[in-house]
């Protein structure tokens, strides 16, 4: 059976992926530059931490674009089941870069704690950070919409990262104001808090993508949805032995269906192909293998009936 996959060159899919990548890269590069300049001029630990986070986001954006391109390539002789694992693999490199940025931010904050604290000047610091908050929120809104339409874990993760960045930028702004109105050490304290947000986002990416690389199974709710989709095909009497696991960000499904044992092989084959096609049309699913058995075949698995 020849496998057909939709490539990233599909006009609508390509347009949405390119739009998401363009928004992410442009926004993060802009924020990295203005935050970096502000941190250098002001010496603020909180702003430095936030600039380090924007640097990691810029690296994330660039690598995400490469990873999405590689993961959407069709199956070939070197990768007969496709290139879906490239996306979580690249995500681990992204998480490593984010973790490095967090370590740098912690080190800078500790240095400011040990040194003589200095009051951070408001002015441009507040203007730049407020602009960053508004920019990141707009990026979150736009990327979230695209991710929902594409059903792409990487794009949705990018949207969540933008939302986390809104929180870290608000924290940096609090650090700047606290340094000015409360105490100079308020700034490095908030810088440490921002670094913790970076570590939290890093751990979330690691945990999610390790699951994709190690064959994490589908949730019970998603498994139920898969079984019900198969049962909706005319001629399928029951479904059992459903194995749905992540190979990359999408599911590979191995399942058994029971049909009337008296029907022709050709009819049974058409039913199996219809089940495969319906399941592979689901946004969460990549590839499906269907085993056909006669009704009444003994088994001890969980059975889904009409």
Question: Which CATH number covers residue 126?
Answer: 1.20.1510.10
Cα separation, 215 vs 245, whole angstroms: 5
The dihedral sign for the CA sequence 169, 171, 174, 175: negative
Q: Looking at the structure, do residues 170 and 54 belong to the same domain, yes or no? A: yes
**Which of 2-16, 50-64, 78-92 is the least confident region?**
2-16
**Which regions of 111-250 does DSSP assign to beta strands (E)?**
238-246
Domain boundary among 213, 238, 262: 213
Q: Looking at the structure, do residues 229 and 198 belong to the same domain, yes or no? A: no
Q: C-alpha distances in angstroms, 20 versus 15, 146, 296?
A: 9, 7, 50
Domain boundary among 213, 229, 259: 213
pLDDT tens per residue across span 239-286: 988 999 988 778 899 999 999 999 999 999 999 999 999 999 998 888
Q: Looking at the structure, do residues 202 and 234 belong to the same domain, yes or no? A: no
Cα separation, 249 vs 124, whole angstroms: 42
pLDDT tens per residue across span 183-233: 666 767 777 777 887 788 788 878 888 888 888 889 899 999 999 999 999
| Core vs surface per residue 111-149: b (16+ CB within 10 A) or e | ebeeeebeebeeeebeebbeebbebbeebbebbbebbee
Number of domains in the chain: 2
Instruction: Look at residue 260 in the predicted model and tell me its pLDDT.
Output: 92
- Which CATH number does the domain housing residue 300 bear? 3.30.70.1350
Q: Looking at the structure, do residues 197 and 179 belong to the same domain, yes or no? A: yes
H or E, element range at 94:
helix 86-114
Q: Looking at the structure, do residues 85 and 189 belong to the same domain, yes or no? A: yes
- pTM score, two decimals? 0.64
Find the domain containing 82 and state its range. 11-213
Q: Looking at the structure, do residues 124 and 180 belong to the same domain, yes or no? A: yes
- Side by side, which strands form the sheet with 238-246? 285-294, 251-259, 238-246, 303-305
Asked if residue 80 belongs to a domain, the reply is yes
Q: Looking at the structure, do residues 158 and 295 belong to the same domain, yes or no? A: no
Q: Looking at the structure, do residues 111 and 259 belong to the same domain, yes or no? A: no
Asked if residue 30 belongs to a domain, the reply is yes
Asked if residue 248 belongs to a domain, the reply is yes
The neighbour count for residue 206, using CB atoms within 10 Å, is: 17
Q: Looking at the structure, do residues 45 and 183 belong to the same domain, yes or no? A: yes
Report the C-alpha dihedral over residues 37, 56, 60, 33, rounded to 10 degrees.
Answer: 0
Domain boundary among 213, 230, 259: 213
Contacts of 240 (CB under 8 A, 6+ apart): 255, 256, 258, 299, 301, 302, 303, 304
Q: Looking at the structure, do residues 188 and 288 belong to the same domain, yes or no? A: no
- pLDDT top residue among 214 and 11: 214
Q: Looking at the structure, do residues 208 and 229 belong to the same domain, yes or no? A: no
């Amino acid at each position: 059976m020849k496998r057909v996959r939709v490539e990233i060159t599909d006009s609508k899919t390509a347009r949405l992926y390119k739009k998401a990548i363009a928004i992410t890269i442009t926004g993060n590069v802009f924020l990295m530059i203005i935050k970096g300049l502000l941190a250098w001029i002001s010496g603020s630990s909180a702003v430095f931490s936030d600039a380090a986070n924007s640097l990691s986001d810029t690296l994330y954006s660039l690598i995400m674009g490469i990873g999405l391109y590689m993961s959407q390539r069709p199956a070939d002789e070197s990768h007969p089941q496709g290139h879906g694992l490239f996306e979580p693999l690249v995500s681990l490199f992204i998480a490593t870069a984010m973790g490095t940025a967090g370590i740098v931010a912690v080190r800078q904050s500790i240095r400011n704690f040990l040194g003589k604290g200095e009051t951070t000047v408001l002015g441009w610091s507040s203007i730049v950070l407020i602009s960053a908050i508004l920019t990141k929120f707009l990026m979150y809104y736009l990327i979230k919409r695209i991710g929902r339409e594409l059903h792409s874990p990487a794009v949705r993760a990018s949207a969540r990262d933008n939302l986390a960045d809104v929180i870290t930028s608000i924290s940096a702004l609090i650090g700047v104001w606290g340094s000015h109105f409360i105490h100079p050490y308020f700034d490095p304290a908030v810088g440490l808090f921002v670094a913790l947000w970076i570590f939290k986002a890093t751990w979330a990416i690691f945990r999610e993508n390790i699951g994709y690389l190690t064959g994490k199974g589908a949730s019970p709710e998603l498994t139920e949805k898969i079984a019900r989709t198969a049962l909706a095909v005319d001629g399928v009497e029951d479904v059992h032995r459903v194995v749905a696991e992540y190979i990359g960000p999408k599911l590979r499904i191995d399942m058994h269906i029971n049909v009337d044992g008296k029907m022709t092989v050709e009819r049974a084959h058409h039913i199996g192909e219809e089940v495969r096609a319906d399941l592979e049309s689901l946004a969460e699913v990549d590839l499906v293998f269907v085993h056909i058995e006669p009704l009444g075949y003994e088994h001890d698995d969980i059975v889904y009936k009409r």
